[in-house]
Structure 1
Amino acid sequence: MELKGIHHVSAITATAKDNYYFYTNILGMRLVKKTVNQDDPSMYHLFYADEIGRAGTDLTFFEITNAGHTYAGNNSISCTSLRVPCDEALSYWEERLDEYDVVHDGIGETFGRKVLPFQDHEGQRLVFVSDENNKGVAAGVPWSKSPVPKDYGITGLGPVRLTVPELAPTERILTEVLGFRHAGFYPNPEGETDMQVFETGAGGTGAEVHMEVLPVLQKERPGRGSVHHVAFRVADYQELEKWHERITEEKLPNSGLVDRYYFQSLYFREPNGILFELATDGPGFNTDEKNERLGETLALPPFLEQKRNEIEANLQSVEDK
């Protein structure tokens, strides 16, 4: 058993309409699935990804309309990376972010890669990372109808950063339970200890977790602009069953196997309280919509279909801006 990389990252927004505008019109990602939180159908669950929503390209958002401000801190997924094809793409994005008055830190370098940190309109902490020299997990393919040129478009998720008060507990789960490998380290300008890098599968930008240790920070108070969980890729349901056995043997409280219709999942919290998900690569978002029509209408899994009228009555359109 070996996790194949990052599957998706799920975050929180207070306004689905503004969120849709930012991620489709400014970042040029495709809305591949417009659905609801299956555990609370009163709220949107929006999936932005590459052309067909390949595993490893999905950045998703729950709309929680009363979500307050995020107070950044420990025990958190503190940054999400978005892959772009090359260093030249970062220059394009720097100009585009300036054009739309998006807060950013300018182009820099992290772990031997060119990067461009920025924030969305709600303070979501993001960073473009260049795949110029990537030799690991393959990237996705930007949507041909994106407002962003395909040569510079977002191709998937890059490394996620975890901020924790103590390295050892989370490191043990990553390496001894989930099978990640220690891949190196680099200086952290925000702390006294180096950032530690762990990788899985074929490695590279699509399969890394970066660990930041900041003991002095208080625990993060999540809200709009925070990340809810990170999911890692599992080949299929049979392998997910084996992961369930392993997680249970470790006595880690978990959700058990959950059918999300577009993939199957297993959720658990590691010792620093961060929510991890293991999710299968398939069956995929074209299970109930053709690839060319992804995200155009409200998609509901079969067990919610009988409540469609009630659910739609409580949701506002995201496309009108």
Structure 2
Amino acid sequence: MERKSLIGTHHVSSLTANAKENYRFYTEVLGMRLVKKTVNQDDTSVYHLFYADERGNPGTDLTFFEIPHAGKTYYGNNAITLTSLRVPNDQALNFWQERFEQFQVKFEPITEVNKRKTLKFWDFEGQRLMLISDEHNQGVAGGKAWDKSPVPVEYAIYGLGPVTLTVPKKETTAAVLKEVLGFKLVGEIAPFVEGQANIQVFETGEGGTGAEIYLEERTDLPRERPGRGSVHHVAFRVENQEELEKWANFISGVRLPNSGTVERYYFRSLYFREPNGILFELATDGPGFEGDESFETLGENLALPPYFEDKRKEIEAKLVPLNTKQ
């Protein structure tokens, strides 16, 4: 059966050691909306927090697993090393520079990456992030900024941009992107580090900011040791469950070890690692986050998929209370 192209980036999931401070930074400083406060479904003793646009539209979610005793990340290879967040235009970056100064956020000067204005910065745990302007974007649409955010809508983060994969041997990862996931190599950009190879740009679906991957080859780095502030995986958008089943059959057919389809309640998923060890997920666009909470109260209470409800008391007893009432 013919599979449809992947639509773009679905979400990026990272690690934090401090859910309370993580919530403060991503809602009060970055102005994203917490659209779901739930638990890691593979380890219900820790939080899984979803920050996004106004309702967690696909392609807007930056999520965090809380690992309270997570150690320091030792940056390196075989990892997702930069997550970018979309803002509407170039002027927004000037706003963000001033905001980062106000909140004492570490950042670098505005620069240009792939003909788009960008602003690199780090969160309180060293998470590597970059704002990217959509001023000239012609690809997959972004989400819709939340009008109750502390950041004005005209400057707000409203989606995920290109994700950077850093590997010691790009050919094997490039082969998976092209031959398995159907991405197209559309160009190269200057390296982030002087003296290194050009970075390859891949895109899927309609292309544009929300559907790109940057592939960086670095032969000078040790393997990254993940911890707080590191990225766990990147997920790509699949239209629906029927399409996900087609992808599952195809990936198994090319003999890539994978999880098979997994029920996550808010979407369905499939996981596999590419040859350099980076974890990829395919995730359906729906059902979304409003099956167990109203739009108005998203993220305010601990949400559990129905198959965990009978364990709610036991789960809540293991979690440090986190007040997320708006």
Tell me how far apart the structure 2 counterparts of residues 154 and 71 of structure 1 sit (CA, whole Å).
Answer: 28
Structure 2 match to 1:58 = 61
Q: Give runs of aligned pairs for residues 107-256 of structure 1, distance below 5 A.
A: 107-190=110-193, 191-256=195-260
How many angstroms does 1:320 deviate by? 7.5
The AA in structure 1 aligned to 2:220 is V
Matched-pair contact (CA < 8 Å) for 2:165–2:214 = yes
Deviation at 1:313, TM superposition (A): 1.5
3-state DSSP of counterpart to 2:92: helix
Question: Displacement of 1:316 after TM fit?
Answer: 1.8
User: The residue matched to 1:286 in structure 2 has which SS?
Assistant: coil
What is aligned with 2:21?
18
**Distance of 2:102 and 2:189 partners within structure 1:** 32
Change (3 A) 1:189 1:55: closer
Secondary structure, counterpart of 1:22 in structure 2:
helix
TM-score when normalising by structure 1: 0.99
**Residues 21 and 319, structure 1, Cα contact 8 Å, conserved in 2:** no
* 1:241-277 CA distance string (max 9 Å, x none): 0100111112111111100000000000000000000
Q: How far apart, in 1, do the equivalents of 2:7 and 2:253 lie?
A: 22
Identity of aligned residues (%): 63
Given residue 256 of structure 1, which amino acid in structure 2 is its aligned partner? G
**Cα distance in structure 2, aligned partners of 1:231 and 1:316:** 28
Correspondence 1:91 to 2:94: yes
Q: For structure 2, which runs of at least 5 residues remain unmatched after alignment?
A: none
Counterpart for residue 44 of structure 1: 47
Q: Which residue matches 2:315?
A: 311
User: What SS does structure 1 have at the residue aligned with 2:290?
Assistant: helix
Native 8 Å contact 1:165 1:213 kept in 2: yes
Which letter maps to 1:310? E
**What is the CA distance between 1:32 and its match in structure 2?**
0.1
Q: What CA RMSD, in Å, does the superposition of the two structures yield over aligned residues?
A: 1.0
* Counterparts in 2 of 1:288 and 1:108: CA distance versus 1, 3 Å: same
Cα distance per residue 1:9-68 (max 9 Å; x no partner): 000000000000000000000000000000100000000000010000000000000100
Q: Does 1:264 align with 2:272?
A: no
Q: What amino acid is aligned across from residue 168 of structure 2 in structure 1?
A: P
Mapped to 1, the partners of 2:119 and 2:82 lie a distance apart of 12
Q: Does the 8 A contact of 1:17 with 1:317 survive in 2?
A: no
Other structure's SS at 1:136 match: coil
Secondary structure at the residue paired with 1:196?
Answer: strand
How far apart in 2 are the matches of 1:149 and 1:320?
A: 21
Write the letter of the residue equivalent to 1:277: E
Q: Distance in 1 between matches of 2:294 and 2:206?
A: 30
Instruction: Give structure 1 stretches of 5+ with no counterpart.
Output: none
Please tell me the residue identity of whatever aligns with 1:216: D
Cα distance in 2 for partners of 1:289, 1:250 equals: 39
The reply on whether 1:105 has 2:103 as its aligned counterpart is no
**C-alpha deviation, 1:318, in angstroms:** 2.6
Other structure's SS at 2:126 match: coil
Write the distance in 2 (CA, Å) between the matches of 1:220 and 1:89: 32
